Amino acid sequence: MVLTIDIGNTKTKAAVFDGERLVEHIVFEQFNKEDIVNLFSRFDLLKYVIVSSVNPEKERRIAQLLDEIDAKYHLLSYKSPLPFEIDYLTPETLGKDRIAALAGAYAIAGKGNYLVIDCGTCNTYDLLIDGHFVGGNIAPGIQMRLDAMHHFTAALPQCSIENGFEPKQKMHNAQLGLTTREAILNGAYWGVINEINGYIEKYLKEYNNLKVILTGGLFNLNIIDNSSLLTSHSSLFFEPMLVPKGLNFIAKNISK
């Protein structure tokens, strides 16, 4: 069994796999030694840990905790055994969550051409073509856009995705706000929707047999409604567990 640990900007997500089967997935506000010990005690067949972190300091702390319990582990990096080549000019700066998500594409759909879209704190758009990561883009997520509009202006109020997109039916059908608050929310929401659709439409035209994979917190929380996307494309997948499945896929390659 494999334990994957995905340390994000705000939360840590742990997943236990038995082969390719996801046994358990837990989201932690804080992740400490007690949590790791508890997982190892509950899953006595747990043999290996793979860690992905966007925060170097938190990664070092998790590695220290794993050393203390004498666990066998691997820290994901661009040097890890991956199912694709990285053409990024600065691979050492490539987000590990992005690497894991690209590996997740292989885990769920095998070899192929992929556009991986991950919507969370930031939105990332990454292209995997003919076994090569050819590059990608990073843009502000919905909440970051809302925060920026408030922070960099004198009069615009602070809005939040946690309570700002209700009722959804109204927000999705009325693309023009009738109040300043609605205008801010609609601007952030439809800005992201049009951005996503623009990337999908562009790369479907440029690459043959392109598969589009959607993942990330905004999809998981149903903040982005798939009915607003180009879902008529037959090769569009939604996979909430893309990063842990990618980490598990890489871990299996390491153990070979």
CB atoms within 10 A of CB 152: 8
CA distances 234 to 110, 181, 210, 228, 251, Å, are 16, 36, 10, 15, 30
The pLDDT of residue 121 is 87
Active site residue 147: no
Q: What is the pLDDT of residue 168?
A: 45
Please give the average pLDDT of every successive group of 10 residues along the chain, which has 256 residues. 90 94 92 90 92 92 93 95 95 94 92 92 95 96 95 94 54 71 89 91 91 83 63 73 96 78
Q: State the catalytic residue, choosing from 6, 97, 118, 126.
A: 97
pLDDT tens per residue across span 219-233 = 765 666 666 676 555
How many Cβ atoms sit within 10 Å of the Cβ of residue 216?
Answer: 24
The span from the CA of 68 to the CA of 60, in Å, is 12
Distance CA 249, CA 242 (A): 10
In the chain, the domains with their CATH numbers are 2-109+242-255 (3.30.420.40), 113-238 (3.30.420.40)
Per-residue confidence (pLDDT) for residue 23, from 0 to 100: 95
